[in-house]
Structure 1
Amino acid sequence: MKTIRMRAEVLAGLTTSFALVPECIAFALVAHLNPLMGLYGAFIICTLTALFGGRPGMVSGAAGSMAVVIVALVVQQGVQYLLATVLLGGLIMILFGLLRLG
């Protein structure tokens, strides 16, 4: 990759990551979770997106709509079901992709 292009990519990544920090903390608080969980989640999704690549038009970051949906699960069932729910949702998305449903 050209040096100029690499510098622009690094600057864009840093700008996005700095903007993502308060957003992830806020979404974690909306979902009645520890703010560190929001930061860990943001780090993991950004790392996975950097490693495996994304798609044009795909947003790989925090989503306020997910925080609103997750809050009902956390309040009713507890935080212990959160990881299983997210993993199951990911598996369903992979299955839909393999079946070319989306």
Structure 2
Amino acid sequence: MKSAFRFITPSNGSIKDDMLSGFTVALALVPEAVAFAFVAGISPIIGLYGAFMMGLVTAIFGGRPGMISGATGALAVVMVSLVKEGNTMGPDGAMMGIQFLFATLILAGLFQILAGVTKMGKFVRMIPKSVMMGFVNGLAIVIFTSQLGMFKSSDNWLVGTEMYSMLALVGLTMLIMIVLPKITKKIP
């Protein structure tokens, strides 16, 4: 029987490789955590705290080789309404949405542990590809519309220099995403 706590058993990897992998994932996780915090409507500091705790728990309890644990856009989009409605409850200025978010994530983690222990992951294969594609495309639309507010200052859309600098950054990012993989194939 395999141990649920793999941190007790020795690892086949080297410490140097593990440290480099952890550092790389941490660098990739920081902008992702901040971006998803903005999408969820919470402070980026809370997103960074969550990313740190997720990394700590994943490092202790392990994972699968080649798997990166991180926040997901699907979860961030769902949490928007939870945080907004939670902030309207309770006394004025209590910001109950953050407490609701914390409780929801703990409960989701317990459900994931239960699903893992009962080996329910095999049922994911039964979901048709068309359903998965529809979910991902719908999620992309929801994230896109939630980010349109970033193109506004106060109540007005960006105009002039602000708009052109934002569009230049978007264009530069898309250019890097398209061109860089072609360069790295030629230059190892």
Unaligned residue ranges in structure 1 (runs of 5+): none
Q: C-alpha separation between the residues in 1 aligned to 2:117 and 2:60?
A: 20
Match of 1:67 in 2: 76
Q: C-alpha separation between the residues in 2 aligned to 1:77 and 1:68?
A: 15
2:110 matched to 1:91?
Answer: yes
Instruction: Using structure 1 for the length normalisation, give the TM-score.
Output: 0.84
Cα pair distance change 1:25/1:98, threshold 3 Å = same
Which structure 2 residues correspond to residues 1-102 of structure 1 after superposition, within 5 A? 5-56=14-65, 58-78=67-87, 79=97, 80-102=99-121
**CA distances 1:60-79 after superposition (whole Å, capped 9, x unpaired):** 11212211111111112231
Unaligned residue ranges in structure 2 (runs of 5+): 1-9, 88-96, 122-188
Question: Which structure 1 residue ranges, 4+ long, deviate > 6 Å from structure 2?
Answer: none
Percent identity reads 50
CA RMSD after TM alignment: 2.2
Q: How many corresponding residue pairs?
A: 101
Q: Which has the larger radius of gyration?
A: 2
Instruction: Using structure 2 for the length normalisation, give the TM-score.
Output: 0.48
The Cα of 1:23 is off from its aligned counterpart by: 1.0
Structure number with the bigger relative contact order (C-alpha 8 A, sep ≥ 6) is: 1
